Structure 1
């Protein structure tokens, strides 16, 4: 904007096509267009058609709307599916508007003329395609990007004020970009990213592309953050937010039944080793108890809760099997001694079998 203003002060005028060309790749907020218009007025710089500029005052001869011309030239380079190709051929046949035609249509739109609105929109659909191409690969199909950009174009046609002196393509570029950016933030991800976060991510991506071209290598994270004017800590948070969530039901490969979730361990589940040890221990315990008398086995089950019951006291366990507390103590001592002897003799080999 400063460069445009300086050039306008020197020449006394700027061509509308020159302004459109200079701002084609600049993301301006809606109010910044009006601010540029006020700055040009304050500096006594007139906005005129490119044909009215004196030789040498403006850029090399070019079309009134460079962004639209670029879209027209590239319209058949990547036709895609049949439906898209038909759409591109159709809008490619619609003639571009001159500055005078835009003013006339804008006046008719202000009076509620729907036909004028249709002509304004259809004549600038190539601009939508041109801008939408820059957002491919970010999570939305190309046709959806064009559709969302067209919604922004409709809003621009409704709000365009020809009195400001700008070409419609310059004004509508902001609305188209805004509509596509919001659609990407709202619809392209499972987890929505706020618009301002998406804009910061785009700034980081542009910085990364620029550095990759300049350095001829992959730039480091701190280099990208510095180029984008973002603290490295914030950049790392933004990159983390940009990670795409993965579904646990996502197939590992095409045609396979295995899913991503099959490779992730359940930290709450019992490990196979622990389950094997428990199963073997239960089996060995059952075998050992089977070698005791009924009264000894029943007493140990009551005392230690081996049958799924709450552990009993000696007195309570003795009462269940019909003996005194002292008698129950002697039965317990004898039963434990027999189990210890069995273990010593090699009847209980749980640990050895598991280790093997």
Structure 2
């Protein structure tokens, strides 16, 4: 199965000292008026964002001291998780409970820091309306940048989190716009290849009762795997919702999509937080255990595999794959590992 990689965020850190006036970089987030973009945003989208602002507005903005307090709790939580994972001696039940409490406190602090700065994302995202992405798309990309900022923030340097996060949010938004700008129309011969591959993939899906891999499609067509992978890559290139439709171009592609298909920014942010927390939990597994969980549950490519298939991929018996999976799941059920996933299951 072809892999859908997450968007890669740049690793460069913002040079905070290069700003002569940090206050100029800090966005005002007490109120986020949308009147300045109302004429460029569809009414249903504008209503959705207004409702979203009402929801996130229930979380108060943070003072500098509150930002530090949350960052300290996150730091203690990370340290507690590290202690539990790498303890060379047997820890007492009392100490394990205390460390688990610090971990839970850190997870809640991280969530609070994100929620208190969601208005900052909207205030930045609306400045980029009209550059190829819808306002909701811009907010979603900005939320990714915000969560990246939470992970990278070092309160010891004395900067406000909102100041620091502004750089990461802008970076995520402008990068998404740049990626969208590279969207191109597929040439005729490539469109034909995409159609051929899709037809074969559908037939294989029926016989295999699962999505076929690129290798299986290549074998069925008698073509190199590399070529099939290029065709699949071309097939999933993004198409802007702002693409004109019709002879006069009076409508855009987004006009013909039902509003309920647009992911809500709150739901999108929660999904990204779950992805992060799940990755943190999987870090407790060794390489072989994580590989088996990835394959069994399709965490990397969306394709769930049977134990027989996992065994073939990793060169082991079905029974050995089952044993390793059972041990991995046992680890993930440990209170200190699965604690921060509890909220997603309630």
Measured against the shorter chain, the TM-score band is 0.3 to 0.5
With a CA cutoff of 8 Å and minimum separation of 6, indicate the structure with the bigger relative contact order: 2
TM-score, normalized by length of structure 2? 0.38
TM-score, normalized by length of structure 1? 0.37
